[in-house]
Amino acid sequence: MVEIKKDLLIIGAGPAGLGAALYSKRADLDFEIVDKQMPGGQIMNTEFIENYLGFGQRSGFELIEKFSDHCKGLGAEVKTFCPIALVELVKRGKENFFRCNIAESADHYMVRTIIVASGAYPKMLGLEGEQRLFGRGVSYCATCDGPLYRDKDVAVVGGGDTAVEEALFLAKFAKKVYIIHRRDKLRAVSILQERAFDLENVEIVWNSVLEKIVGEKKVDHILIKNVDDNKIKKIDIQGLFEYVGFGANSALVKGIVKLDANGFIITDKYMRTSCRGIYAAGDVRSTALRQVVTAVADGAVAATSIDKHLRGLI
């Protein structure tokens, strides 16, 4: 068994974690950044990012590659395939320490501070056939799977920015794209709505919810219900893309820090959680906006706050 001692452990190597790593390196902190996969997080599933200042329009992969290369250039390497299975609070005198157990290993980190930058995950609807047909017509990533549905009919569930953005991407390949939304107005920003309304192969199915996904070896059709009159309608499709919100990857610190009603980590302006020594940044945090720019900023604030904390300034 190996105990790895550090002042700081950054959990997650998306924009928030890499932003934290950059500022931790500049502050000369003794830290490591770990992730169960290659750097990127959800940004890897984004076809184009056009609102990160100074970079124009780039794919999510290109942008995260820039972030990662920048950190590597400063000597901040991500330890991949090193998932943290459990975080335990350990009291040593007046100070908190944290034992971070490495999955499938007896090794662990013993650290003074943690930045949780573990991100969020797409929620499922919990319908019959959803899990069984995942990868066989049911998807949560149009950027990943969209080209598979060239000249086919697909449906997108949701009415927010992500749902409409993905519908616009799918419209480049699919013969028909249905946007199924439970209300009579989309929640997406105006510019995205206008783009969707202008496309002839995009149809918005208002006031409707998905009731059932039908198919044996692959998606054959879906049944939707109108929430006003409860009428059921069949739509023949080959692909179904769901965007009904996100859940927080906060299980590691559940019971240690305060979470909001949806499981996101509550922080103050310094990114401090309710447990002294644990900070949170990015999509896992309870915040009004989840974007690349805010995630990177969260990471910078968290790392700077930890530097001051370790030096006894805050």
Could you report the per-residue pLDDT of 229-257, keeping only the tens digit for each? 999 999 999 999 998 888 999 999 999 99
Per-residue pLDDT, 283: 94
Q: What number is the average pLDDT over the span 47-53?
A: 75
**Structure-model confidence comparison of residues 180 and 83, the more confident one:** 180
Q: What number is the average pLDDT over the span 155-160?
A: 96
Per-residue pLDDT, 152: 96
CA 255 from chain centre, in angstroms, equals 22
Instruction: Check residue 263 and report its DSSP letter.
Output: S
* Domains and their CATH numbers in the chain: 3-121+246-310 (3.50.50.60), 124-242 (3.50.50.60)
Taking the C-alpha atoms of residue 262 and residue 265, their distance in angstroms, rounded to an integer, is: 9
Give all strands of the β-sheet with 239-242 in edge-to-edge order. Answer: 138-139, 239-242, 153-157, 176-180, 202-205
Q: What number is the average pLDDT over the span 292-304?
A: 96
Could you report the per-residue pLDDT of 192-215, keeping only the tens digit for each? 999 999 999 999 999 999 999 999
Contact present, 125 and 210 (Cβ < 8 Å) = yes
Catalytic residues: 141, 144-145
Which H/E stretch holds residue 296? helix 292-310
Per-residue pLDDT, 89: 92
Contact present, 299 and 106 (Cβ < 8 Å) = no
Whole-structure pTM value: 0.79
Q: What number is the average pLDDT over the span 140-169?
A: 90
Per-residue pLDDT, 314: 85
Taking the C-alpha atoms of residue 38 and residue 57, their distance in angstroms, rounded to an integer, is: 22
Give DSSP secondary structure letters for 35-60: ESSSTTGGGGG-S-B--STTS-SB-H
Per-residue pLDDT, 19: 97
Q: What number is the average pLDDT over the span 13-36?
A: 95
Does pLDDT of 98 surpass 80?
yes
Compute the mean pLDDT over every residue in the chain, rounded to the nearest whole number.
92
Taking the C-alpha atoms of residue 164 and residue 143, their distance in angstroms, rounded to an integer, is: 13
Beta-carbon-side half-sphere exposure of residue 91 (alpha carbons within 13 Å): 4
Q: Which residue is listed with tokens 């100070």? A: 95
Band (186; pLDDT cuts 50, 70, 90): very high
Per-residue pLDDT, 47: 62
